[in-house]
Amino acid sequence: MNAKPELTLLLASPRGFCAGVDRAIQIVELALTKFGPPVYVRHEIVHNRYVVESLEAKGAVFVEELSEVPEGAKVIFSAHGVPKSVPAEAQSRELFYLDATCPLVSKVHVEAERHHNAGLQVLLIGHAGHPEVIGTMGQLPEGAVTLIETVADAEAIAPADPSKLAYITQTTLSVDDTSAIVATLRRRFPDIRGPHKEDICYATTNRQDAVKEIAPQSDALLVIGAPNSSNSMRLVEVAERVGCPYAALVQRAEDIDWDALRPVLKDGGTIGLTAGASAPEVLVEEVIEAFRTHYDVKVETALIRDEAVQFKLPRVLAE
């Protein structure tokens, strides 16, 4: 019987759930315990099918719009944040609702309003169509926020008054991409105002830094996460940029492309493994076990930073 090839599995740390995701999931679970099912959730509470399906099994019902929520039901808004029109509609229909928006996203909402009230044109660095971007733009009147997706957008924008500009950012962007866009805006508009503290959240930054640490040491790197998860997709891009020969996103172990990996790993080697901020650790363990069926696996952890952030739950659930 042939021995399995030896493989070092280099785990990024930190990885997986951030405080905002953990809080949002707890809100759904506690609401189900306190009020009983069904509890409705507008949009995926976080971008991960495993998490969504686990909550569905407990009685959560996921919908895209409030119009799908029946009268008298209880509804939760996702961690990505929602436009102001959503809680306004819930109030007009007298729906009981809980807001699971990540506090760091709420911080960006507050910044947007503050800049707008100061008479500044607000530029939002982010990805069109992402729920967080839709929610942030929806804090202000239509047309009050201009979306900037690329350096080219930053070069092309022609504001009415260059001296009255402010920028905010989506919390889950590439740190390096965003820095380049901000540098372009600051060069063109020296008076532009930015956030007091960076809008890209600590978890996004930490997970990207961890990938920058392990990717150069890896023959291949896998990111566990969903294709509609911005922070997960950015981790794949970061690995590719720092020169990792093979980087891919997998939702869970069954998605691993073994045929693509074998030529890269040959008779073993090192594979980096991380997880986006909405991916649970159980999926990391599942992937490790899948590698054990093909390789003699040695697991090492590369800790680049400790995380101890926690966010308070809504008072109605904490009581």
Number of structural domains in the chain: 3
* Confidence check: pLDDT of 1 > 60: no
Query: Looking at the chain, which runs of residues are DSSP E strands?
Result: 6-13, 39-42, 60-63, 74-77, 96-99, 121-125, 145-148, 165-169, 220-224, 247-250, 268-275, 296-303
For residues 134 and 112, give the distance between their C-alpha atoms in angstroms, rounded to a whole number.
13
Residue 308 included in any domain: no
What's the pLDDT band for 198 if we cut at 50, 70, 90? confident
* Structural domain ending residue among the three candidates 61, 86, 102: 102
- Prior bond of 14 cis (ω within 30°): yes
Domain that holds residue 84: 19-102
Amino acid residing at 199: D
Residue 319 included in any domain: no
Same domain for 127 and 81, yes or no, is no
What would the mean pLDDT of 35-64 be, rounded to a whole number? 96
Residue 311 included in any domain: no
Which of 132, 149, 198, 281 is an active site residue?
132
Residue 191 included in any domain: yes
Same domain for 206 and 131, yes or no, is no
* Confidence check: pLDDT of 2 > 90: no
For residue 79, what is the domain's CATH number?
3.40.50.11270
Residue 309 included in any domain: no
Residue 41 included in any domain: yes
Whether 71 sits among the annotated catalytic residues: the reply is no
Residue 186 included in any domain: yes
Please name the helix (run of DSSP H) or strand (run of DSSP E) that holds residue 188, with its range, or none: helix 175-188
What would the mean pLDDT of 188-198 be, rounded to a whole number? 93
pLDDT tens per residue across span 141-188:
999 999 999 999 999 999 999 999 999 999 999 999 999 999 999 999
CB 66 within 8 A of CB 89: yes
Same domain for 77 and 131, yes or no, is no
For residue 219, what is the domain's CATH number?
3.40.1010.20
